[in-house]
A and B are shown apart, each in its own frame.
Chain A
């Protein structure tokens, strides 16, 4: 069916506000006489707090309160931005206190000050005296799992947070029936989200004594719940407001500063307190991407059909659980869709260490596992002397496949078409041939890598989304959703969906971008690439409800049965021929002021989606490797996605550009570095942490294969996170093709590449 607004590159609904500086973010709001909160951080990676003396700090003029673990509620709470579960065994690990009594990483929050300004607050922090009993810093999973290692959290033996995996089929049989069994080991490094806006919030008690928190978050309704849990107060007594957000990428799908900010305002009788992290703080005390180590075994027939897959994974979650084992689980789960084998075993273990806390980050475990597996596949293709594309094609999933464990069914799959398109874009065959036998100092190669993902979290978590629409007298509408715009463009996509159903121009759909848990319909938030797919269902449902009510109303006005009517271009029309019955505005006006039937049209709806559409895609990349320096230059890179129908091509391309750029950083330069002895972060600033600049970013090519998934509104599937998944393995495979050297550890920065080349005898 042709659509009039869906599928068009309409301009972002918030673009003008953002280019004029009028878009207001959390720190752009002021309360009168706002106090400033600051955090005292542990200098030790692992230490028990023996005693704290705050008397000097408290006595400093301008200090309004000093908080320690002794003054805040002693309730352990979880921080991951997951929906609450009624099943206690399915809840996130509650291992956090607002201020800790034991430091578990360098930078852990051990005390806090509220003062009249920043300078006083900083001064006061220096006056807090703490006596520590220093314990061994466990900075690697190996050290943490060692027999006799001190426990970071008392209730986790060997510092293992969890180790639940999965297995199906007879793997032994699958391997013994195989002609070859290949093995490989792969490793990734921790990286940081580096959204441009750091974590910031302010909190106060309003006139009714309700706790109000304005914060830069992806998950306002979850913040409300977790602040309630942390402070042990009724959840309904907390009001969370989310203005524009300067990027999140999963880091703001976690509750980091809000409980402490709430405790701060309570400590000063409800006066407004602002808590803002500096870049340096945000890079150690929010979240990072889990570093993984993988051991993989794959059994295949000699013509390349995969019989069985074994994957062992060690995931380093740092000092607190946050999303913890969900990352390893989710990576392993989303991986399963791409190459369904008859037998598979996944054995992940998530380990606590004394390092900054790892949590959700765009891709949620999949960039790690696909780096490992897609690298592994290229080595297999090499050994079988087979084209890497051919090997994959023999094993791709088919439409109709039902995943044994999640029971999710593949109803649309464009991976083959994506690969075909990418292959053409990069001129694969020609370049593979051209770059076959190189020997100079600069060598070129092309590589590719694929992925599968998911749209939302079903069946792991609930997928409830809310939408509310109110139609105005002129036929324009307001739309409110609980899902948050954080830059990805969801507000614009929702406006397009509503405009499509109601026959309106997009400008007549006003999306209220601010979420306020007292007012906004319930939705768990922005994560898991769920907004267009999951919240989109609720938005479409709400728009259809308004449409049905309106056509019914017109029936009452005109005696023309509702089912013969439709909405088009701001008119009520006959469905069969488009003839105008009356302007929309006339009907809308009547709904307000009809003396008998006047009743403005609204819809307030919720949708609980129990489906999941699987998106697919591929990266193709061409590199030039400087053998002498180990520098890798990306010459061309293309991402081709099957994300179902694309609602807004320009915004969708933008999502892919950003994801690919993040993927290139992950592949080539980004890495948080720690001192192995002390656990101290060495590069928590934007100078030493190598985030790609415009100079490091090649021209990024984008393609879409538009399948139509029957479960999504308008046929959509997820797109937000997927672009970041496959660039790293594609680049690694391109380097492998160029040099024959297998770089199985990220990032592939010049130093590491140089060392590898040296080992391989290239230098």
Chain B
């Protein structure tokens, strides 16, 4: 069964007809070409497919596209503004938090959501928040450093 939905995707309005069985992941990747959204398992185990739905992190592989109706979706393609890396992206580059890069979009988005929450996190809390993402390359060490750096940089920006 098809259903017409409308949502904002990285700030742009999208009107689209989807199959009610389709995941948001499949729609974003295969129908709209947002291939920065990665698929590592398809069943909600790895976090590679994370997108932001109204600012909340969501595994898009287990989120139906129809649920996106009326919502604001952000993918990795919408994070850099005018060709400028965001604070989080910059931190991931600088801290060497990127290796194969397959887990990276999801982790950048989760970290972005944490930063935008305006909350402060202890290291342990931060680890818990990031624990929905598997990374097989980095041993998480530089990812944690990048996340901490992002939050600090974000805090400084707020204070300025």
Contact = CB atoms under 8 A, between A and B. Distances in A.
A binds B: yes
Interface of A: 9, 11-12, 14-25, 27-28, 30, 193-198, 244-247, 249, 278-279, 486-489, 650-651, 653-654, 656-662, 685-687, 691, 693-695, 697, 699-700
Contacts of A11: 93-94
20 contacts: A12-B96, A19-B85, A21-B37, A21-B75, A21-B77, A25-B35, A27-B29, A27-B35, A193-B136, A195-B100, A246-B100, A279-B40, A279-B45, A489-B99, A657-B140, A662-B139, A691-B136, A694-B127, A694-B140, A697-B139
A25 B35 CA distance: 9
B99 A487 contact: yes
Interface string B5-33: 00000000000000000000000011001
Contacts of B89: 16, 19-20
B92 to A, nearest CB: 5
A661 B140 contact: yes
B2 interface: no
A247 B136 CA distance: 8
Interface residues of B, number: 52
Contacts of B136: 193-196, 247, 249, 658, 662, 691
B139 A661 contact: yes
A492 to B, nearest CB: 10
A247 B100 contact: yes
Nearest to B95: A650
A686 B41 contact: yes
B41 A279 contact: yes
B134 A196 contact: yes
A550 to B, nearest CB: 32
B76 A654 contact: no
B100 A197 contact: yes
Nearest to A637: B139
A577 to B, nearest CB: 36
B79 A20 contact: yes
A492 B5 CA distance: 44
A245 B136 CA distance: 13
A653 B103 CA distance: 19
Contacts of A18: 98, 101, 104
B134 A19 contact: no
A658 B137 contact: yes
Given A691-B134, A694-B127, A700-B141, A21 B40 contact: no
B146 to A, nearest CB: 10
Contacts of B75: 21
DSSP majority for the B interface? loop
A24 B101 CA distance: 10
B139 A487 contact: no
Contact of B141 (A14, A17, A657): A657
Contacts of B105: 19, 21
Nearest to B106: A196
A21 B86 CA distance: 13
A226 to B, nearest CB: 23
Given A19-B108, A20-B80, A197-B40, A687 B45 contact: yes
Contacts of A653: 96, 142
A694 B103 CA distance: 13
Nearest to A665: B136
A548 to B, nearest CB: 34
Interface in B22-81: 29-30, 33-43, 45-46, 48, 75-77, 79-80
A60 to B, nearest CB: 19
B102 A27 contact: no
A751 to B, nearest CB: 22
A16 B42 contact: no
B139 A660 contact: yes
B113 interface: no
B93 A15 contact: yes
Given A21-B36, A694-B131, A685 B141 contact: no
B135 interface: yes
Contacts of A686: 41, 45-46, 134
Contacts of A659: 139
A20 B77 contact: yes
A243 B53 CA distance: 30
A695 B131 contact: yes
B153 interface: no
A608 to B, nearest CB: 29
Nearest to A660: B139
A685 B41 contact: yes
A20 B96 contact: no
Contacts of A19: 76, 85, 89, 92-93, 98, 101, 104-105, 108
Given A19-B85, A487-B100, 10 more contacts: A19-B108, A20-B77, A20-B79, A21-B105, A25-B35, A195-B136, A278-B41, A653-B96, A657-B141, A686-B134
B156 interface: no
B46 A657 contact: no
Given A19-B92, A697-B140, A24 B98 contact: no
A657 B35 contact: no
